[in-house]
Every structure is written in structure tokens, then in C-alpha cells.
Chains A and B, each alone.
Chain A
Amino acid sequence: MIGLKSTLNCIDNSGALVVECVNVLKNKVNNGWGSVGDEIVVVVQRARPISAASQASVNAVKVRRGDVRRAVIVRTRKQVRRPDGTFVRFDDNAAVLLNNKKEMLGTRIGGIVSADLRLKGWGKIVSLAPRVV
């Protein structure tokens, strides 16, 4: 249940550490709450410092504090129901940054993601994740 002002950990290597949700997209039915697999608009609250050397290299798009980006929720503390009735709950909220075309900004994912992403069409993220539950 991610909504306005919810903070999430950013688990890719785009440089952001903590992002804050500003808007949940495509949600006419969910009262403005986002869950795993929903696209949200976020503001970067804390980011990894970008050294001048890495600014020149084109490894991955590095974001700065205050950037407004899109993200997809990959873990929630609120439990999510699977079609077979099982529930999954993680200990934190996490997201992965995206660009406007629904492509990932980072190149790697450092953490576990929920398997519900596959059902919502984020197969690329699931394939990059080190562990899927």
C-alpha cells in the first residue's frame, strides 16, 4: 500500500537510495494506493554521491537528489495475495527506477523482488533480480 509520501528503498544501481512516492499511476480503482507491480512517480530523497570521474563514464544514468522519476514497486510491507491464495510480505518497501518508456534506468538489481511482478508484465526486472520470491 504505497501512496503519497511513502518512502521506498531503491534497489537498482541508478544511484538513488531512498525515494518518496508522489503519485500512483493508472489507478482508478485502488484509492490511490500502489502495490507490487504498479508504476509510481517518485522524488529522489537520498542518492549516492556522484564523483566527477564517474560523471563522464556512461555506465548507467545516475540520478541526483531532488530528481523526479518514475519507478515500479517491487516489494511491499503490506501483504500481497497470490492467485493460489498465498500471501507474501516483505520487511520493507522497495522500488526500481524507470524512464518514461518503462525501461529500467539502472542495469542491476541488488535485492529480492516479488514474483508478482511477472504477472503484471515486468519480466525484465524479474530476470535481472538475484532472487525472486
Chain B
Amino acid sequence: MTSSLFRVCARFMATASTSVETTMSYPFSKTALIPPMPVGEFSPGLIQGKGLMQHLRKTLFTPEKHQMIQTLFSRRSPKQLVPGSIVTVISDQAPTLFTGVLIAIRRRGPDTSIRVRNILQRTGVEMQFFVNSPTLKEIKLLKTPSKGRMRRAKLYYLRDAPDKMSSLAGSKSLN
């Protein structure tokens, strides 16, 4: 009885794995998330480790993430995020939607993160989102700063100046 059940399970797992081209099956869990193996030919120099960081910079991110990073965080992009703009972050985890003022952009390649501040229920809340996280779906720009550019890269002074923050916000009602 149990042996026939095992055989059925093995057959199911085998068919599931053969339908995907570059993922291997993990025999100990059906629900494990297995990232796809890197596709492509690797030069012998790369296998040794030469030019590894450059290769990783191109291939570590999914193409959608790479696109997002290029448009929003590259310093030459016309649509780059500027501190002081109002931004909505859409993510998989709670909170799924977080709107607020962008007070800091930390550019560190794969560790790039943004800090968004908002005042909810009379309490200030700040969240730091890492851009390359798979749970971060989208960063939507709602409003650029009214005078074009803030005179600071990091707007931590807004923590002590709620009036300046509300003037940045304009007449928005963030929830």
C-alpha cells in the first residue's frame, strides 16, 4: 500500500521536474523554491573566477529587476528617483502598499535600498526597502518634489520637522 503510494509520488515528481528546463527537483520537499540554474556558456576564465563581479553584475538580477534599477536608480536615467518625491512601494509581504516621502536612497549595487517615511495615525513610520528583494514588486512615483530638487541627499531632518514634511506632501492624504 505505502510502496504503491511512494511509486505514484515519485512518478509525479519526475513529471513535474521534466516540464521545467533548467530547474532540478529537490527530493525532500515539494514546495521548495528552486532558482533556475544559470544558462549559457561560461568562458574558462570565468570558471576560474576572472571577471566574476562584472558577470554577476549583469546576471545576478532578473531582467525585470535590472530594468527597474536602470530606470529608477541609475544617476543618468531621466526617470531616476529623487529624495523628496512621494513614492508608493508595492510588495508581496505586509504592508502590501506603503506610500510616503522618499527620504534616502542608498546605492550599493545589489544592496541598494530606499527609505520611505510616512505619518500614519499620528505616528511616524519609516520603512527601508531593499530594491533587489523578490518580494518587492514595484516602486511607483506619485509626485516629484515641487521645487525640482531637494538641497540634501538624505532628508533625515524631516523626522523633527512635521510641517516641512506636510509641505512636501502638499495636499495628499496618504493611507
Contacts and interface: CB of A to CB of B under 8 A. Distances in A.
Interface of A: 75, 79, 82-92, 94, 111-112, 115, 118, 130-133
Nearest to B135: A84
Interface stretch (B30-38, B42-50, B66-74, B126-134): B126-134
A88 B130 CA distance: 12
Interface in B111-125: 120-125
Interface centre among A85, A86, A118 (most CB of B within 10 A): A86
B93 interface: yes
Interface of B: 91-95, 98, 120-130, 133, 135, 159
Query: Which secondary structure dominates chain B's binding surface?
Result: strand
B121 A85 contact: no
B122 A86 contact: no
Contacts of B127: 86-89, 133
Nearest to B93: A84
B133 A112 contact: no
Contact of B128 (A86, A90, A94, A133): A86
B91 A89 contact: no
A62 to B, nearest CB: 23
Given A133-B94, A133-B95, 6 more contacts: A84-B91, A90-B124, A91-B123, A111-B121, A111-B123, A133-B125
Contacts of A83: 93
A6 B135 CA distance: 34
3 closest A-B pairs (Cβ-Cβ)? A91-B124, A87-B128, A84-B135
Contact of A88 (B91, B92, B125, B135): B125
Interface centre among B91, B93, B94, B128 (most CB of A within 10 A): B94
B93 to A, nearest CB: 5
A112 B129 contact: no
A84 B131 CA distance: 11
A118 B95 CA distance: 12
A130 B91 CA distance: 21
Interface centre among A91, A94, A132 (most CB of B within 10 A): A91
B123 A92 contact: yes
A86 B130 contact: yes
B169 to A, nearest CB: 16
Given A91-B159, A133-B120, A86 B91 contact: yes
Nearest to A129: B121
A131 B125 CA distance: 12
15 contacts: A75-B123, A85-B130, A86-B127, A89-B125, A89-B126, A89-B128, A91-B124, A91-B159, A92-B123, A111-B122, A115-B94, A115-B95, A130-B121, A132-B94, A133-B127
Contacts of A89: 125-128
